[in-house]
């Protein structure tokens, strides 16, 4: 585009200069008409909009250079032409500047949301940048960070949306500054999809791994670009980072009071506790960081007194980060009052991160109250799906028949497929309780969404299910996607000869050419010595 711009502008300059050479240099009259065809020659260059603000600026500079060249022609170009071109260039420049300024504002808000861990808001804002201002200089970066934020959210739906954002970046911004980072991020996301049962992503990863073993031709020498690869932003917990002081207050590293508290705790923990209590009772602005650190120091002392202090901080401290830290550490307190407070927080909190920490803290309590609270939250329809998924996950980490039975009863009640995925995963992590048979049942339910059936099948394949139970399904299912998923599941059990036998049977006898190809692809990844002979026979038949 940049070369085209320069070419058109140069053509316009040559045409104008040629038309002027036949005339004698004399002052041009005020109303000299624009030569025929001249405007048509230059107009296309003025209408061209380069894909980025940097290219636009370069193109405008080239256009102005051409105008300066025309001014030196034997006969000047009519003033009207200069005014027209200058006006159009200024208009374009103003538009690009406005677009860049507007996108910068939204982009800054998006990065701030990303920094504080509000990934859903970050995605929304990054989408605004790339959607509303596709020619802004940060549009390609916005697509990268949208994908980065989606990866930090839960569920394959978000991972697939992240892939689409990266593909859009690759297709629309071939010179994007974060091009290599985007490729690495896409590979990482496809790896996560593959690990959760996405057969096509698994194939993509396998193919890329194979390419990595092959030597690349030497790159042609190009002009080096300045390094512009920013690292992912540091995660902070609130508007300011958790270790960032309020304006005018000392940092923790510069605060001798914090050093004194640490030293006192190491020398005499019993004597330090009253002092820490006094610190937590302070409410001046410069005490925020001290109180946050004091919560941690208190949590390291396993005593009834430390439990009282943490409970009080979680309920009464005005700083949200102090509350969050206190709630987190309450998970280590073996006190029924802690479970009661955490349960109450699940009902009243409007802060998602505080709720997230309360769910985790409850998962560390093994009493009946904690389990009841997690189960109740998992069924709370008006709660954020992401947090309900966390509750389901933590229930799955508690290997109990009660939780296994509850999750199976919860599954048909759920309206959200991502939450159903969480149930499938959680049950796959529990040994026993007839979970493999239940998952196989879900995989064979024709009325279930195909992606959920594939997920159930994948997780069964990761459990110690006898391979004949899986190979017997292939001829029973009629859905092509399920057959493809079964082929992938067999490939993950390649150490079992029955799985390899089934793949060879599919590669040789299946009527579907593509399914035969899938089986051959995965057979080529195995180390079974029989496969080489099988492939030779297949070629020679």
Task: Give the model confidence (pLDDT) of 486-525 as tens digits.
Answer: 999 999 888 889 999 999 999 999 999 999 999 999 998 8
The mean pLDDT of the chain is 76
| pLDDT tens-place string over residues 248-303 | 776 665 556 666 666 666 666 777 788 888 889 998 878 888 888 888 888 887 77
Lookup: tokens for 124: 């929304």
C-alpha distances (whole Å) from 29 to each of 18, 127, 264, 436 are 19, 53, 91, 92
Is 169 contained in some domain?
yes
Q: What is the rounded distance in angstroms from the CA atom of residue 160 to the CA atom of residue 166?
A: 10
Is 142 contained in some domain?
yes
Structural domain ending residue among the three candidates 44, 77, 110: 77
To the nearest 10°, report the CA torsion of 355, 359, 360, 363: 170
Residues of the domain holding 157: 118-209
pLDDT at 237: 37
| pLDDT tens-place string over residues 135-162 | 888 899 999 999 999 998 878 889 999 9
Q: What is the rounded distance in angstroms from the CA atom of residue 260 to the CA atom of residue 114?
A: 35
Is 523 contained in some domain?
no
Structural domain ending residue among the three candidates 77, 109, 127: 77
539: CB partners within 8 A, 6+ apart: none
pLDDT at 258: 66
The mean pLDDT value for 164-173 works out to 92
106 or 1: which carries more pLDDT confidence?
Answer: 106
**Residue ranges of the alpha helices (H) in 116-243?**
119-132, 139-152, 156-172, 179-195, 199-212
C-alpha distances (whole Å) from 480 to each of 204, 273, 511, 537 are 19, 65, 12, 27
DSSP state letter for 51: S
Helices 320-330 & 288-299, crossing angle to 10 degrees? 0
Residue 9 and residue 65 in one domain:
yes
217 or 112: which carries more pLDDT confidence?
Answer: 112
Q: Which helix (H) or strand (E) is 337 found in, with range?
A: helix 336-348
Q: What is the rounded distance in angstroms from the CA atom of residue 483 to the CA atom of residue 476?
A: 9
pLDDT at 31: 40
φ/ψ of residue 474, rounded to 5: -60, -45
CB 309 within 8 A of CB 298: yes
56: confidence class by pLDDT, cuts 50, 70, 90: very low
Lookup: tokens for 472: 């017997």
DSSP state letter for 25: -
Cβ neighbourhood burial of 256 (10 Å; 0-12, 13-18, 19+): exposed
Q: What is the rounded distance in angstroms from the CA atom of residue 48 to the CA atom of residue 174?
A: 18
Taking phi over 0 as left and psi of -120 to 50 as alpha, with beta for the rest, 534 belongs to alpha
Q: For residue 284, how many other CB atoms are within 10 A of its CB?
A: 9
Structural domain ending residue among the three candidates 55, 77, 99: 77
User: Structurally, how many domains does the chain consist of?
Assistant: 2
81: CB partners within 8 A, 6+ apart: 16, 34, 38, 39, 42
pLDDT at 238: 34
To the nearest 10°, report the CA torsion of 78, 56, 7, 17: 10
- 95-129 burial, b at 16+ Cβ within 10 Å, e below that, comes to ebeebbeebeebbebbbbbbbbbbbbbbbbbbbbb
- Helix (H, G, I), strand (E, B), or coil: what is residue 318? coil
Is 456 contained in some domain?
no
Q: What is the rounded distance in angstroms from the CA atom of residue 139 to the CA atom of residue 99?
A: 11
Q: What is the rounded distance in angstroms from the CA atom of residue 367 to the CA atom of residue 331?
A: 12
C-alpha distances (whole Å) from 121 to each of 36, 104, 106 are 55, 16, 11
The model scores a pTM over 0.85: no
8: confidence class by pLDDT, cuts 50, 70, 90: very low
């Amino acid at each position: 585009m940049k070369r085209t711009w320069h070419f058109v502008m140069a053509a316009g300059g040559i045409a104008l200069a040629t038309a002027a050479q036949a005339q004698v240099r004399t002052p041009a009259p005020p109303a000299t008409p624009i030569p025929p065809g001249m405007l048509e020659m230059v107009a296309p260059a003025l209408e061209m909009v380069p894909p980025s603000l940097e290219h636009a600026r370069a193109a405008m500079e080239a256009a102005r250079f051409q105008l300066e060249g025309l001014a030196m022609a034997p006969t000047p170009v009519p003033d009207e032409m200069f005014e027209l071109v200058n006006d159009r260039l200024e208009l374009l420049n103003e538009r690009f500047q406005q677009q860049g300024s507007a996108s910068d504002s939204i982009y800054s808000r998006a990065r701030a949301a990303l920094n504080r861990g509000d990934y859903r808001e970050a995605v929304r804002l990054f989408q605004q940048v790339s959607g509303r201002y596709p020619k802004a200089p940060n549009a390609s970066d916005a697509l990268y960070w949208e994908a980065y934020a989606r990866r930090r959210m839960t569920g394959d739906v978000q991972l697939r949306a992240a892939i689409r954002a990266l593909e859009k970046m690759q297709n629309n911004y071939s010179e994007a500054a974060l091009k290599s980072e985007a490729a690495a991020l896409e590979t990482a996301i496809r790896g996560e999809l593959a690990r959760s049962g996405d057969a096509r992503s698994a194939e993509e990863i396998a193919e890329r791994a194979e390419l990595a073993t092959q030597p690349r031709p030497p790159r042609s020498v190009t002009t080096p670009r300045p390094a512009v690869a920013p690292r992912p932003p540091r995660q902070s917990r609130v508007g300011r980072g958790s270790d960032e002081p309020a304006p005018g207050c000392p940092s923790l590293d510069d605060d001798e009071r914090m050093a004194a508290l640490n030293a006192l705790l190491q020398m005499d923990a019993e004597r330090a506790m009253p002092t820490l209590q006094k610190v937590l009772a302070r409410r001046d602005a410069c005490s925020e960081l001290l109180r946050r650190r004091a919560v941690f120091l208190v949590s390291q002392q396993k005593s009834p007194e430390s439990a009282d202090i943490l409970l009080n901080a979680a309920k009464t401290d005005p700083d949200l980060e102090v509350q969050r830290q206190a709630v987190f550490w309450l998970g280590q307190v073996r006190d029924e009052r802690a479970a009661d407070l955490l349960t109450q927080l699940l009902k009243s909190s409007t802060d998602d991160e505080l709720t997230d920490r309360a769910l985790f803290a409850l998962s560390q309590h093994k009493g009946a109250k904690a389990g009841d609270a997690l189960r109740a939250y998992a069924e709370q329809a008006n709660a954020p799906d992401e947090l309900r998924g966390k509750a389901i996950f933590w229930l799955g980490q508690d290997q109990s028949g009660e939780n296994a039975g509850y999750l199976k009863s919860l599954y048909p009640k759920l309206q959200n497929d991502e939450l159903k995925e969480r149930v499938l995963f959680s049950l796959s992590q529990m040994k026993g309780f007839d979970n493999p048979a239940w998952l196989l049942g879900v995989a064979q339910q024709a009325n279930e969404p195909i992606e959920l059936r594939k997920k159930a099948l994948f997780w069964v394949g990761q459990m110690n299910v006898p391979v004949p139970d899986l190979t017997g399904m292939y001829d029973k299912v009629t859905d092509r996607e399920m057959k493809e998923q079964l082929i992938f599941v067999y490939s993950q059990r390649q150490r079992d000869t029955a799985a390899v036998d089934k793949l060879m049977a599919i590669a040789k006898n299946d009527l579907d050419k593509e399914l035969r190809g899938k089986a051959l692809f995965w057979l080529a990844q195995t180390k079974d010595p029989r496969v080489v002979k099988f492939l030779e026979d297949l070629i020679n038949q």
